[in-house]
Amino acid sequence: MPHILLLEDDTEIRLGLEQHLRREGFSLTSVGTGREALLSLGTPGLRLDAALLDLSLPDMDGLDVLRAIRGHAAHKALPVLLVTARSEEIDRVLGLELGADDYISKPFSTRELAARLRAILRRSTPTEAAERAPQLTFGPIAVDLDMHTARVDGQIVDLTRREFELLAYFLANPRRVLTREKILQQVWGLEYLGESRTIDAHVRRVRAKLGPMAAEQIETVVGVGYRLGGPAEA
């Protein structure tokens, strides 16, 4: 049973979410403030499979909780779904830039919420090719699927789980134009309900972590998607 950290400051909404998510087969650590969420991260023996974070909190910005998760040794790869009532696009984009896997805006249906949680919990490898090849390389970039490590010129690159899966998918499909829709299906899962800006934010973060020389290997194909390396030679 997946165990979710639920952070929601509105008591009525939180109780409703608890009831619904338990019916959907999730177990919960439920808190109402950012401070309680941070304390939960340090609870000895607590196993978390994902976090559902409200951005509007009484004691701190929900994005600060996200930063804490991404900086926590035991939880830095934790899948995170943001919940926001904010209408500004910048808040959602910033959340994705900071490492959130997806977001959902209030008001939302509880069925959609459960579907998004299941989508970010999917742990399948990106491609069938990746399943056959435990190590993938392109130029200075290499990933080891068994060890779940990425390197550039032999140096370890610290990637979140989703960033690693995205990079592995590129390396498994070199010189092929990958549409945003295809990337969503293969990396986020067939039931993913999000938008293409999620991919753009993750690609920007992967490029930044790879460094300027290696980042140039991931090309933007305007109006279509992305490609690792130039077109295949005839």
For residue 109, what are the contacts with CB-CB under 8 A and spacing of at least 6? none
Check residue 187 and give its pLDDT.
83
- Return the higher-pLDDT residue of 26 and 88: 26
Q: Is the pLDDT of residue 37 over 90?
A: yes
Check residue 43 and give its pLDDT.
87
Q: Are 76 and 69 in contact (CB under 8 A)?
A: yes
Q: Is the pLDDT of residue 76 over 90?
A: no
Q: Which of 91-105, 140-154, 216-230 has the lowest mean pLDDT?
A: 91-105
Mean pLDDT to the nearest integer, 37-66: 90
Check residue 234 and give its pLDDT.
43
For residue 14, what are the contacts with CB-CB under 8 A and spacing of at least 6? 6, 8, 30, 32
The overall average pLDDT reported for the chain is: 85
Residue 53: Cβ within 10 Å count: 24
pLDDT-derived band at 194 (thresholds 50, 70, 90) equals low
Check residue 232 and give its pLDDT.
60
Percent of the chain, pLDDT > 90?
A: 47
| Inter-CA distances, 152 with 70, 143, 216, Å | 21, 9, 13
Mean pLDDT to the nearest integer, 8-15: 92
What torsion, rounded to 10 degrees, do the Cα atoms 8, 49, 29, 193 define?
Answer: 30
Check residue 129 and give its pLDDT.
43
Percent of the chain, pLDDT > 70?
A: 88
For residue 146, what are the contacts with CB-CB under 8 A and spacing of at least 6? 134
Gyration radius from the chain CA atoms: 18
C-alpha to C-alpha distance for 156 and 76, rounded to whole angstroms: 16
Per-residue pLDDT of 85-141, as tens digits, reads: 765 666 777 888 888 888 888 888 888 899 889 888 875 334 444 444 578 999 999
* Token pair recorded at residue 111: 């069925």
C-alpha to C-alpha distance for 38 and 82, rounded to whole angstroms: 16
